[in-house]
Chains A and B, each alone.
Chain A
Amino acid sequence: MNETFTKAMARNIFYGGSLFFILVFLGLTYHTEKVLPERDHRENITEQVVLGKKVWEENNCVGCHSLLGEGAYFAPELGNVYTRFGGSKEAIIAFIKYRPAEGIEGRRSMPQFNLSDEELEAVAEFLKWTSEINTSNWPPNIQG
């Protein structure tokens, strides 16, 4: 870098530029918060959905699965699993409930988490709500 461009100028770009974009980011965050209710359908977040999210977290489901594309890539995407399973909470519950404790020879298998009926119902309800978030049409198809 040449001599006409001084260290003081570089410093001002750093502080000024960073501050400017922090403020823009905060402004956009404020706006996002304002319009989000139309996209996340928060009116449908029932106590069951809240419990479902907690069960999701406390069993570290995101350690294998992705949810809206975020998480691990070892097991299928679950943001749209409700739709993939034909809009059936029962199918989701049955899948989780009947996992063999010792796994499947040579294959990946979901652990048996021994969830209560209430927890199973809640997780299914949480995944149903998640599938209804407006994700700009992601994933591209039913396979997630």
Chain B
Amino acid sequence: MKYESQKVARLYFIAALGLFVGQILFGLIMGLQYVIGDFLFPAIPFNVARMVHTNLLIVWLLFGFMGAAYFMIPEESETELWSPKLAIVLFWVFLVAGALTILGYLLVPYARLAEMTGNDILPTMGREFLEQPLITKIGIVIVALGFVFNVGMTVLRGRKTVISTILMIGLIGLAVMFLFSFYNPENLVRDKFYWWWVVHLWVEGVWELILGSLLAFVLIKVTGVDREVIEKWLYMIVAMALITGILGTGHHYFWIGAPEYWQWLGSVFSAMEPIPFFMMTLFAFNMVNKRRREHPNKAAVLWAMGTGVMAFLGAGVWGFLHTLAPINYYTHGTQLTAAHGHMAFYGAYAMVVMCIISYSMPLMRGRIANSNKAQVAEMWGFWLMTVSMVFITLFLTAAGVVQVWLQRYTETPMPFMLVQDKMAVFFWMREVAGVFFLGGLGVYIWSFFIGTDADAARDAAKVLAKANTKENA
């Protein structure tokens, strides 16, 4: 770490991980409600738990992205952050607004919350992932503007790199596309059409730019590969992301009333959406193979390779499975969608945030890398969470296949609730995998508290000394 102001990222990362724990706890509640229907009813109905689960995910990833930008931008720009104070103020604004919103969901019936927060003035609530009250949405915009301004000013007065440019395009895109959350036409078809401009053009559009630049940054640092090479890869990855992803939006327009040419366009372009993710995997493995230094932070390298692979599997392969219109006709809105959603968000976004945390957190604590013991624990966390997520995805996929078969494909389709009972065994197994995931997250967080600065310095020195002898020999 070269600039003092990079340290504001630490606050953001701590909050991100705290909210991540909350997200998983509510995930487990929902998972149980799938099999014990009246669990916590009517205190926390499923829709409330789900809102908390998904909104916490979005908010912690945003905290992660912002923390990443605050850490990366000064170092890339070779100058202090324009205003660390603004970053700290915005942190607290975002955290308090986020916490109040979650409390609102939990303590007040949603309809009452809508009434209290002026949903009548401009109805924007009650749409999936965009459930936040109007004032929260305005708060998000203010925080995003302040944040983009702060990092933007830093970029403008310093060195401009490809990584910081792509990151800035991604972050500005994120803020701009969010503005469509204020547009809620009375016509449901048009509502859905533009709703995807937030949701799809985030996760299968501009967020991939953020993902690519975070990954590229960490890879430069831990492998020492020439910046020119890494930046060429980054350009090609984000080029493919947008070339396939923008028209790939069409795979959401198959059955919502939009014209039928979207079935062709959406199928063809979204079928190519795995390409940028596959390139990310190649990118990560290639750069690590060509590394010119042995970085003592092995855990960060593991996260970098892991996010490449898991993003490709979750977003790429599991997305492709049901993206072609004739297949999606049967799978649309089933547990297959849930399977894909879980692995894609974990593999692409949760893991890349943990990757940058893994790389930067020791630096902000005055270490090159954590002690061996801490890194071993962190890697246990990595494997427990990742393998658990693979199983969650497999069980949900199995549930989805049963659902598609019994409810959609057979000659004598069965009613929804009857089919749900037949899927119960897979829902139970998913819940067990979820408990293991929570365990993995616990180990991961525990790893932050293992080992002293002295341990860390000693272990890092060993790795560096070994690398030196190799070089001299």
A interface with B by C-beta (< 8 Å): 1, 5-7, 10-11, 13-14, 17-18, 21-22, 24-25, 28-29, 31-33, 35-36, 39-40, 42, 45, 49-50, 53-54, 56-64, 66-77, 101-109, 111-113, 126, 129-130, 133-136, 138-144
Q: With A57-B114, A108-B420, A138-B254 given, name 16 new contacts (CB 8 A).
A: A13-B235, A31-B259, A32-B258, A32-B259, A53-B191, A54-B123, A57-B126, A58-B126, A62-B127, A68-B192, A76-B415, A102-B41, A106-B37, A108-B417, A139-B408, A140-B330
Residues of A within 8 A of B416 (CB): 75-77, 143-144
Residues of B within 8 A of A40 (CB): 187-190, 257
Query: Interface 1/0s, chain B 91-131, versus A by CB < 8 A?
Result: 00000000000000000001100110001000101111001
Would you call A140 and B257 a contact (CB within 8 A)?
no
Would you call B239 and A14 a contact (CB within 8 A)?
yes
A62-B127, A138-B329 as given contacts; A103 in contact with B41, CB under 8 Å: yes
* A39: contacting residue among B114, B257, B414, CB under 8 A: B257
Residues of A within 8 A of B125 (CB): 57-58, 60
Bound Cα distance from A39 to B409, whole angstroms: 26
Bound Cα distance from A77 to B256, whole angstroms: 13
A36-B258, A58-B110, A113-B111 as given contacts; A103 in contact with B38, CB under 8 Å: yes
A108 to chain B, nearest CB (A): 3
Would you call B42 and A111 a contact (CB within 8 A)?
yes
Residues of B within 8 A of A18 (CB): 239, 242-243, 246
29 chain-A/chain-B pairs, Cβ below 8 angstroms: A5-B232, A7-B228, A10-B232, A11-B235, A21-B246, A32-B259, A39-B258, A45-B186, A50-B186, A59-B111, A60-B47, A62-B126, A62-B127, A63-B50, A64-B50, A68-B188, A68-B255, A69-B256, A74-B50, A77-B416, A106-B36, A113-B111, A133-B257, A135-B256, A136-B263, A140-B329, A140-B408, A141-B413, A143-B407
Within 8 A of A (CB), among B264-279: 265
B451 located at the interface, meaning its Cβ lies under 8 Å from any Cβ of chain A in the complex:
no
Bound Cα distance from A53 to B231, whole angstroms: 47
Chain A residue at minimum C-beta to C-beta distance from B257: A133
Would you call A68 and B414 a contact (CB within 8 A)?
no
- The 4 A-B residue pairs with the shortest CB-CB distance, nearest first, are A63-B47, A57-B126, A69-B333, A108-B37
Residues of A within 8 A of B247 (CB): 21, 24-25, 28
A77-B416, A109-B37 as given contacts; A53 in contact with B236, CB under 8 Å: no
Secondary structure class of chain B's binding surface, majority of residues: helix
Would you call A60 and B258 a contact (CB within 8 A)?
no
Residues of A within 8 A of B110 (CB): 58-60
A28-B265, A71-B128, A141-B413 as given contacts; A63 in contact with B48, CB under 8 Å: yes
Bound Cα distance from A49 to B46, whole angstroms: 26
Bound Cα distance from A29 to B228, whole angstroms: 37
In the complex, how many residue pairs between chain A and chain B have their CB atoms under 8 Å apart?
226
Would you call A66 and B333 a contact (CB within 8 A)?
yes
B interface with A by C-beta (< 8 Å): 30, 33-34, 36-38, 41-42, 45-48, 50-51, 110-111, 114-115, 119, 123, 125-128, 131, 162, 184, 186-193, 228-229, 231-233, 235-236, 238-239, 242-243, 246-247, 249, 252-260, 262-263, 265, 329-330, 332-335, 337-338, 407-409, 413-417, 420
Chain B residue at minimum C-beta to C-beta distance from A77: B333
B236 to chain A, nearest CB (A): 5
A42-B187, A66-B333 as given contacts; A17 in contact with B257, CB under 8 Å: no
A70-B333, A138-B254 as given contacts; A133 in contact with B128, CB under 8 Å: no
Would you call B47 and A136 a contact (CB within 8 A)?
no
* B38: contacting residue among A56, A68, A104, A141, CB under 8 A: A104
Chain A residue at minimum C-beta to C-beta distance from B197: A29
Would you call A1 and B233 a contact (CB within 8 A)?
yes
A35-B259, A104-B38, A143-B407 as given contacts; A21 in contact with B243, CB under 8 Å: yes
Residues of B within 8 A of A57 (CB): 114, 123, 125-127, 184
